[in-house]
Amino acid sequence: AWRHSLRVFASLSSRQLRADEGVAHVLRALGMARQWNEALELLHSSQCQSDDWCLSAAVWACQVAGATDVASELLSQRLEQERASRRKRKEVRLLEHLEQTAVRDCPASVISCLEQFATENSWLKVAGGEKAKVLEAAVRPTDRVLEIGAY
């Protein structure tokens, strides 16, 4: 029966039909049957990997089957995706702010707008480790430092 259910949902996704709610129910049923491997297979092959209901059902399926490490890994992956998404949103807001307020080809204006955005949005970056030692040796207490980095 499980194999047949998986084939039905595979055919739905191959037809590009959304079946998030149905997938979540099948994931829960697979959990009740302690079929956590099949639940993971369905989660990864379906179009609902980013759906919270599907993720919750897959995590539950792993937990009830005793695969708590796998459940923890699924949650860790989702948390990292959320963190990355939040970072991007903040960076996009900064870029939009600069495009709207900074004077083009004027570094002083860009820096001023960066500082304004940081102040209004309460950004705080604490330098630690080797970077902190370099800053402590190179700047006076009243100096301000702007670091522009990249990924």
Instruction: Please write the tens of the pLDDT for every residue from 106-140.
Output: 988 988 898 888 888 766 565 567 777 877 888 88
How far are the Cα atoms of 77, 79, 141 from residue 52, in angstroms, in the given order?
Answer: 13, 12, 47
The pLDDT tens digits for 34-69 are 888 888 888 887 777 677 778 888 888 888 888 889
pTM: 0.46
* CA nearest neighbour of 45 among 68, 61, 27, 67: 27
* Domain annotation covers residue 112: yes
Its domain, for residue 102, covers: 86-138
User: What are the Cα distances from residue 127, in Å, to 6, 82, 86, 119, 132?
Assistant: 50, 24, 21, 17, 5
Span between the terminal Cα atoms of the chain, in Å:
48
Please identify, among 17, 37, 66, the residue that sits at the C-terminal boundary of a domain.
Answer: 66
**Chosen domain end from 13, 34, 66:** 66
**Residue the block writes with tokens 């079929």:** 35
